[in-house]
Structure 1
Amino acid sequence: MRTTSADRHRPRRRTRTLLLTLALLGTAALAGCGDPDGTSGDKGGQGPLTVGLTYVPNIQFAPFYVAESLGYYEDAGLEVKLKHHSFSEPQFGALSAGEEDVVYAGGDEMLQARSKGVSVVDVATLYHEYPVAVMVPKDSPVKEAADLEGRTIGTPGPFGETYFGLLAVLKSAGLSESDVKVQHIGFTQQAALAGGKVDAVTGYLNNDAVQFARSGVDVRTIAPAGEDASLPLVAAGLGASEDVTSDRPQDLKALVAATLKGVQYTIDHPEKAVELSAEFVPGLEDPKKRKDALAVLEATVPLMENHDGSPGRNDPAAWERMADFMHSHDLLSEPVPAEEAFDNSFLP
């Protein structure tokens, strides 16, 4: 595949990419924490950098596929291995065991893992808008967050971004879990809401909302109460082990720059990004699946866009708000100083 541009785009080298699972599934990331007693291995500035993608091959990882396909990692002098997680694999287990150098996860998930002893530091945020929302049928009497009181809300489980997002929406309206009926429904949001089993669900704007629309089910999202429509949570980014931040700072900085370049290309060229991802994601040669993938990616672009001219930057105030929120909801095993959980010095 040939691509001409000033960026010296090149085809990817398949031998440098490790795809562990061959399936095309939804975009909900598996949540969980690894063994906090493990430590990352010292690469000594040599060898490949292994990036953990916390789900099976999927269009949600397009920026990484793009960066690999177009030679951005190679141009940066790096050998990068993209390692997909299995369904049963703990989110931070491989990072703790030294089998991964960097993991792609939510900032809130990293903070929770860090409170359990995982030495992970968020070195770049890739989503500048939180991807989770509470969704209700279009004709639902629920119009605002306060109307959720007494309603049945379906969420995959008491973990991860969908759960954190639900708690944040409830808190914005002065509600808690005890004021609603939470059902743990796994990743079956579409069936549960369309079938009337729940009054609302928490889901991903760039997956569940897209699937609802494509299946003809009209839904609305419920915004947090108050003037600030944003949730006190930090979305997906690159989490590096502290061994890598201390032992391979230049390699890590190069990795961040190359990945952010992949993010920008995906924002600018979503159709081309889907085309490049087809060599990584089984099934995308099918026209319908490729069309579905493009719909997901087009819904993802607004989440990745940065409007203040500082792509990848972690907002210190946002991390402080998140740390306070998660601590107040007993989501942290131990208090974590927000300033220790992220580091903007690896940005280009």
Structure 2
Amino acid sequence: MRHKISRSARPWSVLLSLTVVLALIGAACGEDEELREVNLALSTTSGFGYGYWIAVGLGYYEDEGLDVNLQGTGGSADVAQILAANNAEAGMGVPGAMLPAIEAGAGLYPFFTYAYGEVFDVVVPNDSPIMDIAGLDGLRIGISELAGGEVPLVRALLVEAGLDPDNDVEIIEVGTNAPSVKAALDDGRIDAYSSAKSDIAAMNSAGLGTMTIAPASLNTLPAEGLLAAEDFKDDDELLIGLGRATAKGQLVAYTNLDGAVCVLKELIPEEFTDEEAGRSGLAAVIDITTAPQQGGEYQFGFLDAAGWNTYVNIFIQGGVINEQIDMGDYVIDDLLDEINDFDQQAIIDEANSLETDC
């Protein structure tokens, strides 16, 4: 079981009493009270997955009866393969990687939106004369890695702009290290760069200096979220628990950025080696992962088939997939009321009580 970060300081006498009580309860209930082990594949090991990490650190998955193992991967394409093989119950990924897998016969079922608006961007230096995707004709585009979720999107955007991704541009893997990307742009090895918005925000904080040339229409789509593997698509209790715990983790970060950073530094310290860049990246991620509100409360996880079908059309046009897919056959949208069935104010109060001096 993963170590759970303390939510608040408690007197030792209370902790001792609680330990004794829990031990007695555990002995009485036996195996029935054990947490269910669950593998959740993430498309990144970065702070972009803050909601999942905070849910682990503050014990929200355990509150749902789940012992969640977060599996970092090299990108959404890797997650699609893991889910297609039923090697994880659920995973986080982008449509650009999930739709080709679905077209190939994988049973992947979206049930929770984590990021609202496209999570990837295409940028150029602030002083570049390139103003849109069409302006990349004959030029070189840097990407984070060949398995990165930005690759299908870049290819689709190029086709939409009338360019052939295989002949009119050159796509080059340059990583996500800010000095390396800046050097590649400065010396002309690449003319534009595409990666996750959180990566780009961290690079800009480190002095990169870029502007987006991606279409504004991408900002309204369900860009990344959780999908269930075929064998688990009907396990409502599991999917609700994963969604609800993740939503609580997100709400903590919305409420108290400094407290969220302290939790994350315990779990993914490598993301905060440069604390300013780590904080900037997290703030940028929160901007694109903030759930819509209704009646003064967040509505976490909102998704519908229409948004996914928009991506189907984008990626058919971009040559990423070839066949129409009716995502109404895959999207699970009837669990959202139960996912959102928790006391948001209680989580806000807990978030505001977190340690911030770390």
Change (3 A) 1:274 1:331: same
Secondary structure of 2:112's partner? strand
Match of 2:326 among 329, 337, 341: 337
Secondary structure of 2:266's partner? coil
Alignment partners' CA distance in 1, 2:86 and 2:137: 44
1:252-267 correspondence to structure 2 within 5 Å: 252-267=239-254
Alignment partners' CA distance in 1, 2:206 and 2:270: 20
Aligned to 2:172: 184
Alignment partners' CA distance in 2, 1:159 and 1:3: 37
Alignment partners' CA distance in 1, 2:144 and 2:279: 24
User: Are the aligned partners of 2:160 and 2:317 in contact in 1 as well (CA < 8 Å)?
Assistant: no
Secondary structure of 2:274's partner? helix
Deviation at 1:72, TM superposition (A): 1.3
Confirm whether residue 298 of structure 1 aligns to residue 283 of structure 2: yes
Deviation at 1:240, TM superposition (A): 0.6
Deviation at 1:262, TM superposition (A): 1.0
User: Are the aligned partners of 1:165 and 1:202 in contact in 2 as well (CA < 8 Å)?
Assistant: no
More helix by share: 2
1:60-71 correspondence to structure 2 within 5 Å: 60-71=48-59
Secondary structure of 1:230's partner? helix
Residues 24-78 of structure 1: per-residue CA shift (max 9 Å, x gap): xxxxxxxxxxxxxxxxxxxxxx83222112344x322221121122221122232
Confirm whether residue 139 of structure 1 aligns to residue 127 of structure 2: yes
Match of 2:195 among 180, 195, 203: 203
Provide structure 1 residue ranges, at least 5 long, that are not aligned to the other structure. Answer: 11-45
Match of 1:275 among 262, 286, 289: 262
Change (3 A) 1:181 1:232: farther
Aligned to 1:26: none
Secondary structure of 1:235's partner? strand
User: Are the aligned partners of 1:133 and 1:165 in contact in 2 as well (CA < 8 Å)?
Assistant: no
**TM, length-normalised to structure 1:** 0.76
Aligned to 2:95: 107
Alignment partners' CA distance in 2, 1:315 and 1:94: 24
**TM, length-normalised to structure 2:** 0.74
Secondary structure of 2:79's partner? coil
Residues 277-333 of structure 1: per-residue CA shift (max 9 Å, x gap): 22221446x7x5333221110110111012354321113322111112222333226
1:1-348 correspondence to structure 2 within 5 Å: 2-4=6-8, 47-56=36-45, 58-85=46-73, 90-156=78-144, 160-177=148-165, 180-187=168-175, 189-211=181-203, 213-224=204-215, 229-230=217-218, 234-246=222-234, 248-283=235-270, 288-309=273-294, 310-332=299-321, 334-347=323-336, 348=339
Alignment partners' CA distance in 2, 1:120 and 1:296: 29
Change (3 A) 1:208 1:191: farther
Residues 191-224 of structure 1: per-residue CA shift (max 9 Å, x gap): 322332121121222112421x233232111132
Deviation at 1:97, TM superposition (A): 3.2
Say how many residue pairs are matched: 301
Change (3 A) 1:92 1:152: closer
Alignment partners' CA distance in 2, 1:191 and 1:101: 41
Deviation at 1:276, TM superposition (A): 0.8
Give the structure with higher Rg (CA). Answer: 2
Letter in 1 for 2:278: A
User: Are the aligned partners of 1:232 and 1:321 in contact in 2 as well (CA < 8 Å)?
Assistant: no
Q: What is the alpha-carbon root mean square deviation over aligned residues?
A: 3.0
Change (3 A) 1:337 1:190: farther
Identity across matched positions, percent: 25
